[in-house]
Amino acid sequence: MVATYGRPEVLAATLRALTLQHRPEWEAIVVGDCCDERTEAVVRALDDPRVRYYNLPRRFGEQGGPNSVGLSVARGDLITFLNHDDLLLPDHLDVVLAEFADGTIDVLVTRAVKVRWFEAPGDGPPKIICGAHVPATTRISDVIGQRMHDLEPSSAWTVSRPAAERVGPWRSSQTLRRLPLQDWLLRLSVVTRRWRFTDRMTGVSLLGRYRSEAPEALALVDMISSRSPDEIRSVFVPNDDPDEDGPVPSSWTLRALHRLDAAVAPLGLVLHRFTGVDYGPLPDRLRRRDRGRTARELLASRTGEAMPDHSVLPEYLADPEVLRVC
């Protein structure tokens, strides 16, 4: 499923890359967060019956609302929350289905590579600058820690439908001292321990300003369509220098806290599974940060908006098909 808002060109690139999958047995549920007609036009222009488009009548302001609607109407056996600015390589489903074939896992985490683009001097083509492999973590226990960026992108996570249904809808950030993705994955870690991490790079995560234009994304899809997945992997060699990709704590105190966080996470997850105690929000409590503040700050930095009211989500989930556009 693909949650989207205000970036139709980026969405067009993401969906076009999806149509390049070697395996045809997929569905894409695009859920707009009160999008305008440009998003509908992108989906209609694709003219692919495997792509369904739903649109929320009121703005939600974060991907949890659209993802919850998408989860409620999903038909597939496996679920991926594909970011609208991430691109999957054509063999992504090949890798995923091969890993799930033995029936021993409920969660698969593949790898993506961060890509930055800079215009070359003059009229030359853009230069590809690669960052680190993501998600940065290969430990289940890190879902309870404080390094929220280690879990991204959600596009790398594939979850069996029964496990996803047991976790349930994404919760509003305004009820949490975590981001909704962190919260959903933490609940997933309680539902099932049958996780697998693979080093196979099957996606590209674009970095850049939050804007609607996406010439670099469209150019990237052209590249993906004209080369084999292994050729693409040979081009996008990750730079795993933490000083390049961070976020790196700026002081020795913060670095020490991050190391401590990583050390106690395995024990913290065991404690959480048996008692429900979650130490993760403790720093926010000590700093007296109210629930949902991080999400409100992220939204303001991206679009300049204030976080909308989230009380409408149960209404959307009660009858999601009325939200379908095409």
Q: What is the CATH number of the domain that holds 99?
A: 3.90.550.10
- State yes or no: pLDDT of 37 exceeds 60: yes
Q: How far apart are CA 109 and CA 219, in angstroms?
A: 26
Q: Would you state the structure tokens that stand for residue 179, as one six-digit string?
A: 């981001």
What is the Cα 158 distance to its own chain's centre? 11
pLDDT digits (tens, 9 = 90+) for 87-99: 999 999 999 999 9
Q: Give CA 313 to chain center in angstroms.
A: 20
47: left (phi over 0), alpha (psi -120 to 50) or beta: left
Q: In terms of Cα–Cα distance, which of 274, 245, 277, 280 is closest to 262?
A: 280
Does pLDDT of 78 surpass 50? yes
pLDDT in tens, 218-227: 888 988 999 9
Domain span at residue 233?
2-323
Question: Which residue in the block uniquely carries the two structure tokens 């913060």?
Answer: 254
Are 5 and 33 in contact by the 8 Å Cβ rule? The answer is yes
Q: What span, in angstroms and rounded, lies between the C-alpha atoms of 227 and 229?
A: 7
Distance CA 52, CA 58 (A): 19
Chain-centre distance of CA 103, in angstroms?
Answer: 24
Residue 244: which pLDDT band, with cuts at 50, 70 and 90?
very low
pLDDT band at 309 (very low <50, low <70, confident <90, very high): very high
In three state form, how does the secondary structure of 258-292 look?
A: HHHHHHHHHHHHHHHHHHCCCCCCHHHHHCCCCCC
Round to whole Å and give the CA distance between 192 and 208: 34
d(CA 253, CA 171): 32
The span from the CA of 92 to the CA of 18, in Å, is: 9
Residue 60's Cβ-side half-sphere holds a number of Cα atoms within 13 Å equal to 30
**pLDDT confidence bin for 148, thresholds 50/70/90:** low
| Cβ atoms 11, 4 nearer than 8 A | yes
Q: Give per-residue pLDDT as tens, 114-125.
A: 887 655 555 655
- What is the reported pLDDT for 251? 64
Q: Following CA atoms 153, 154, 157, 158 in sequence, which dihedral angle do they give, to the nearest 10 degrees?
A: -140
Q: How many CA atoms lie within 13 A of 200 on its CB side?
A: 21
Q: Is 178 left (phi over 0), alpha (psi -120 to 50) or beta?
A: beta
Give the count of domains, the chain. Answer: 1
Q: Does residue 280 contact residue 260 with C-beta atoms inside 8 Å?
A: no
Residue 211 clears pLDDT 70, i.e. is over it: no
Helices in the chain by DSSP H: which ranges?
A: 8-18, 37-46, 64-73, 92-100, 161-167, 180-191, 215-226, 229-235, 242-245, 252-275, 282-286, 293-303, 313-318
Q: What is residue 125's predicted lDDT score, i.e. its pLDDT?
A: 59
Mean pLDDT of the chain: 88
- Residues of the chain with pLDDT > 70: what percent? 88
pLDDT for 101 beyond 80: yes
pLDDT at 20 over 90: yes
Interatomic CA distance for residues 208 and 221, integer angstroms: 17
Distances (CA, A) of 197 to 22, 106, 137: 22, 11, 9
Is residue 326 a contact partner of residue 45, using CB atoms and an 8 Å limit? Answer: no
